[in-house]
Amino acid sequence: MLTDITLGQYYPGDSFLHKLDPRTKIVATLIFICSIFLASTYVAYGVLFLSVLLAVGLSRLPAKLVARSVKPLWVIVVLTFVIHAFSTPGAALFEWKFISITDAGVQQGVLMSLRLVFLIVVSSLLTYTTSPIVLTDGIESLLNPLRRFGVPAHELAMMMTIALRFIPTLLEETDRIMKAQVARGADFSSGHLLKRAKNLLPLLVPLFISAFRRADELAVAMEARCYRGGENRTRLHQLAYAPRDGVALGGVLALTLALAWMRWSGL
Residues 6+ apart with CB under 8 A from 140: 153, 154, 156, 157
Let me know: does 228 contact 10? Beta carbons within 8 Å. Answer: no
Tell the smallest beta-carbon distance from residue 28 to another protein (Å).
Answer: 24
Nearer to another protein, 97 or 235 (CB): 235
Q: Which is nearer to another protein, 214 or 263 (CB)?
A: 214
Say whether 5 sits in a helix, a strand or coil: coil
Residue 102 bridge partners (DSSP):
92
* Long-range contacts of 226-235, Cβ-Cβ distance < 8 Å, separation of 24 or more: 229/154, 229/155, 230/153, 230/154, 230/155, 230/158, 233/154, 235/137
Smallest gap from Cβ 181 to another protein, in A, equals 6
Q: How far is the CB of 6 from another protein (least distance, A)?
A: 7
Q: Cα-flanking dihedrals φ and ψ of residue 104, to 5°?
A: -60, -35
147 or 213: whose CB is closer to another protein?
213
Least spacing, CB of residue 256 vs another protein, in Å: 34
Question: In 3-state terms, what secondary structure has residue 24?
Answer: helix
Output b/e per residue, 106-122; b: 16+ Cβ within 10 A.
bebbebbbbbbbbbbbb
Shortest Å, Cβ 125 to another protein = 20
Of the two residues 27 and 133, which places its CB atom closer to another protein in the complex? 133
Using CA atoms, how far apart are residues 84 and 70, in angstroms rounded to an integer? Answer: 20
Nearest approach, Cβ of 3 to another protein (angstroms)?
8
Nearer to another protein, 194 or 224 (CB): 224
Shorter beta-carbon distance to another protein: residue 222 or 267: 222
- Binding region for another protein (CB under 8 A): 4, 6, 131-133, 161-162, 164-165, 168-169, 172-173, 176-177, 179-187, 201-203, 205-206, 209-210, 213-214, 217-218, 220-228, 232-238
